[in-house]
Amino acid sequence: MNVLLDTHVLIWLDMDSSRLSQTVVNYLTDPSNRLLLSAASVWEIAIKMQLGKLTLTDTLEAVLAQQIAINGFHMLDVTAAHGMTAGFLPRLHKDPFDRLLIAQAIIEDAVLLTDDGLITQYGYLGVRTDW
């Protein structure tokens, strides 16, 4: 099964994994799952770091390399189809990064691991979420 991580999942894996639910841990440790990390999440984290709103335990490059090695994440590039789908989503969620993750979850047929209640409102479009 394809499983897409919301940005905060990666941040919490680095900073405080106790904030992750047992359900999320189960997804992350199930070897039959294909764990996807979006380039949009990397971009979002970089922006937050540049603005001084976020500090990771190491450089972003080092944290990414470590988490990819530990958890076997597959990087998910942003495509034109992802962008178009995000742009045409109903305006239930205004955050452009989250809208892009929602679009990627739809197109990649992935469960989106998120603690963001606004994202769950897209369930009627077939967006599968879990926490």
Residue 29's Cβ-count burial label (10 Å; 0-12, 13-18, 19+) is exposed
Model confidence over 88-114: pLDDT tens digits?
999 999 999 999 999 999 999 999 999
Residue 110: per-residue pLDDT:
98
pTM: 0.95
Q: What is the structure's pLDDT at 45?
A: 98
- Residue 54 pLDDT: 97
Superfamily for domain range 2-130: 5'-nuclease (3.40.50.1010)
Q: Are the C-beta atoms of 24 and 10 separated by less than 8 Å?
A: no
Q: Give the pair of three-digit tokens for residue 76.
A: 């998910």
Tokens of 80: 């034109």
Q: pLDDT by residue (tens digit) across 23-66?
A: 999 999 999 999 999 999 999 999 999 999 999 999 999 999 99
Q: Tokens 């926490």 sit at which residue?
A: 131
Tell me the β-bridge partners of 111.
3, 128
- The pLDDT score that the predictor gives to residue 25 is 98
Q: How confident is the model at residue 4 (pLDDT cuts 50, 70, 90)?
A: very high
> Domain boundaries in the chain?
2-130
